[in-house]
Amino acid sequence: MGLILKIMKIKRVNLLYFLIPGLILLLLFVIVPILYSFYISFTEFKSGSFIFNGFDNYIKLLKNKVFWISIGNTFYYTVGVIVPSVTISLFIAISLNRKGWGYTTLRTIYFLPVAVSEAVAAAIWVSVLNPEVGMANYFLEILHLPKIGWYADYNWVMPTLIMVTLWKNVGYYMIIFLAGLQTIPPYYEEAAKIDGANNWHIFRNITLPLLKPSLFFVYITSILFSFKVFTWIYVMTQGGPGYSSMLTVFYIYREGFKKFQFGYASATSVVLFLILLVFIIIQLKYFKMFETKDYR
């Protein structure tokens, strides 16, 4: 009994050492600004200071057609991005999880889009996909295929955004899966092979379950990235044509830094956050089994 108490005491003290410094930094430099932005959402910036205006911003927001269009577009984009993101990067990670300079080169190539910033990537793509003089349509022209409107076409703009997002992020998720695959001890695979399992069985019953934490991370992260997408829209579409690529974070930016309505912009981010929170909580509950399960 005394021994157990002693162990518990050690745990608690070390818990403080481990948790507190990081949490303080998180609290101060991330959570406090977030809370302040919530406060701003109930104000309006007029005559040099933030003046309280209650729920005015929220009421105006919920009545705004463009805002709801942006929420719809955000979901469209998110759903369109997640499934390919997870599956393609998983496929690449598993296939490239081997030694050899060929594989190293391929991994580096898939990593390249991650090495450049989003702003540079968007600048490159806005040129390459220019519907009149861009490389992409030039190639299509040479192949006698019809020109595509890419980001200047009402129907193609969302698929275009999804495509460039995948190009940019697949390498990022690949790294995570590669790291995740490393923590799977090879003797599991070997033991299974001795027992006569084929590759697909190994993948389905050993690799995949052991990758669940990584899968969970990539899945949740890609949702969060998608909800916050901004640079592609800023550089390539400005929310257009019309409102067909108006996504909520771009809407927030425009309201805040183009129209100088900061209270309203903050309110929008609060509502977006709440919608996202509900969406994520559903995902977390669905994946709850991964939180404490011992999967040996």
Partner 1 sequence: MKRILIYSILVVFVVSMALFGISCKAEAVEEAEEEVAEVIEEAEEEVAKEEAGEIITLRLMMFPDNPPDEEFYDILITEYEELSPNIKIERESVPWNNFQEKLMPQIMAETPPDIARVSSQWGGSYAAMGALADLSEFITQEDIDKFQSGRWVTCLYEDKPFGLPETSIAIAMWYNKTAIEEAGIELPESADSAWTWDEFKEAAKTVQDKTGIEYGFDVYKSFFPYLAWIYSGGGQLLGEDLKTPEINNEKSVEAVKYLTDIYAEGISPVTTPASGDPDAAQKLFQAGKVAFYYSGVWLTSTFVDAIKDFEFGATYLPMKAGEDPATNASGENLIIFNKSEHIKEAYDFISWFTNKENSERHLGYANLLSPRLDTSPVYEVRPDILEVFGNQAAMLKIQWAKEAHISEFSEITPSLMDNLVLALTGKMDAQNAMDIVADEVNTIMAE
Partner 2 sequence: MKKFKLIAINLILIIGAILILLPFVWMVSTALKTEAEIGMWPPTIIPKEPILSNFINGWTTLPFTRFFINTVIYCIGAVAIGGLFMPMVGYTLAKFKFKGRSWTFLIVIITMMIPAQVLIIPEFLLIKNLGLVNNYFGYILPEVVNGFGIFLMRQFFMTIPDEIIEAARIDGSSEIRIFFKIILPVSRPAITALIIFIILYRWNDMIWPLINTTSNTMYTLPVGIASFTGVQYGIVWNNLMAVSTIIAIPMIILFVIFQRYIISGITLTQLK
151's contact among partner 2, partner 1, none, with CB below 5 to 8 A by partner kind, is partner 1
Tell me whether residue 110 or residue 232 sits nearer to partner 1 (CB atom): 232
Pick the piece of the chain touching partner 1 (CB under 8 A) from 83-91, 149-157, 216-224, 268-276.
Answer: 149-157
Shortest Å distance, C-beta 234 to partner 2: 10
261's contact among partner 2, partner 1, none, with CB below 5 to 8 A by partner kind, is partner 1
Tell me whether residue 130 or residue 221 sits nearer to partner 1 (CB atom): 130
Is residue 131 within the footprint of partner 1 (CB under 8 A)? yes
Is residue 271 within the footprint of partner 2 (CB under 8 A)? no
Q: Which of residues 116-155 bind partner 2 (CB under 8 A)?
A: 116-121, 123-125, 127-128, 133, 135, 138
Could you give the CA distance from residue 197 to residue 292 in angstroms, rounded to a whole number? 28
List the one residue from 111, 114, 128, 149 that touches partner 1 (CB under 8 A).
Answer: 149
Is residue 291 within the footprint of partner 1 (CB under 8 A)? no
SS (H, E, C) 247-266: CHHHHHHHHHHHCCCHHHHH
269's contact among partner 1, partner 2, none, with CB below 5 to 8 A by partner kind, is partner 2
Is residue 257 within the footprint of partner 2 (CB under 8 A)? yes
Q: Which of residues 205-264 bind partner 1 (CB under 8 A)?
A: 233-243, 245, 254, 256-262
Shortest Å distance, C-beta 40 to partner 1: 9
Is residue 265 within the footprint of partner 2 (CB under 8 A)? yes
Could you give the CA distance from residue 227 to residue 28 in angstroms, rounded to a whole number? 24
Is residue 22 within the footprint of partner 1 (CB under 8 A)? no
52: β partners: 43
Is residue 58 within the footprint of partner 2 (CB under 8 A)? no
84's contact among partner 2, partner 1, none, with CB below 5 to 8 A by partner kind, is none
Per-residue binding string, partner 2, 178-217, x by CB under 8 A, is: xxx-xx-xxx----------------------x--xx-xx
Could you give the CA distance from residue 188 to residue 93 in angstroms, rounded to a whole number? 19
Q: Which of residues 41-100 bind partner 1 (CB under 8 A)?
A: 45-48, 50
Shortest Å distance, C-beta 45 to partner 1: 6
Q: How many CB atoms lie within 10 A of CB 180?
A: 20
Q: Per the structure block, which two tokens stand in for 169?
A: 């992020």
List the one residue from 1, 4, 5, 17 that touches partner 2 (CB under 8 A).
Answer: 17
Q: Are 213 and 180 in contact (CB under 8 A)?
A: yes
Shortest Å distance, C-beta 150 to partner 1: 9
Total of residues contacting partner 2 (CB under 8 A): 96
